């Protein structure tokens, strides 16, 4: 899974029927590394993407995103065209907050 920061929403009135009711968040991938003292550091990488969210992640929260066919396993209907889903919100303590 990748870690990503929630940075916005997208709305799509004209879309696949099976996607109705799902919330779509814009997320910016971040990479978690640790400095010499072992303190966690987050750094942005790559391009933002859109992920379905059933967990209720809020703006700026760091989330765990599953991609590909695995992204569909967390949804109530596994047979809908979603290839990225937020599957967890990372506890702030993980980053020493």
**Among the listed residues 5, 6, 21, 68, the single contact to a second copy using CB under 8 A:** 68
**Among the listed residues 13, 37, 60, 96, the single contact to a second copy using CB under 8 A:** 13
Contact 18, 77 (CB under 8 A): yes
> Is 37 a residue that touches a second copy (CB under 8 A)?
no
Residue 45 CB contacts under 8 Å (≥ 6 apart), including other chains: 29, 30, 31
Assign 69 to helix, strand or coil: helix
**Among the listed residues 35, 60, 83, 96, the single contact to a second copy using CB under 8 A:** 83
Q: How many Å apart are CA 53 and CA 62, to the nearest integer?
A: 13
Contact 26, 7 (CB under 8 A): yes
| Least spacing, CB of residue 79 vs a second copy, in Å | 5
> Is 39 a residue that touches a second copy (CB under 8 A)?
no
> Is 4 a residue that touches a second copy (CB under 8 A)?
no
- Can you give the binding site for a second copy, defined by CB under 8 A? 1-3, 7-16, 18-19, 24, 26, 28-29, 31-34, 40, 45-51, 55-56, 64, 66-74, 78-85, 87-91, 93-94
């Amino acid at each position: 899974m990748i870690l990503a920061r929630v940075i916005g929403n997208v709305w799509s009135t004209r879309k696949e029927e099976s996607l109705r009711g799902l919330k779509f968040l814009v997320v910016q991938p971040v990479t978690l590394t640790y400095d010499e003292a072992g303190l966690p550091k987050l750094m942005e990488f790559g391009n933002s993407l859109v992920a379905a969210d059933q967990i209720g992640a809020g703006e700026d929260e760091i989330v765990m995103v599953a991609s590909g066919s695995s992204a569909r396993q967390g949804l109530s209907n596994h047979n809908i065209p979603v290839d990225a889903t937020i599957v967890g919100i990372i506890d702030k303590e993980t980053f020493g907050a």
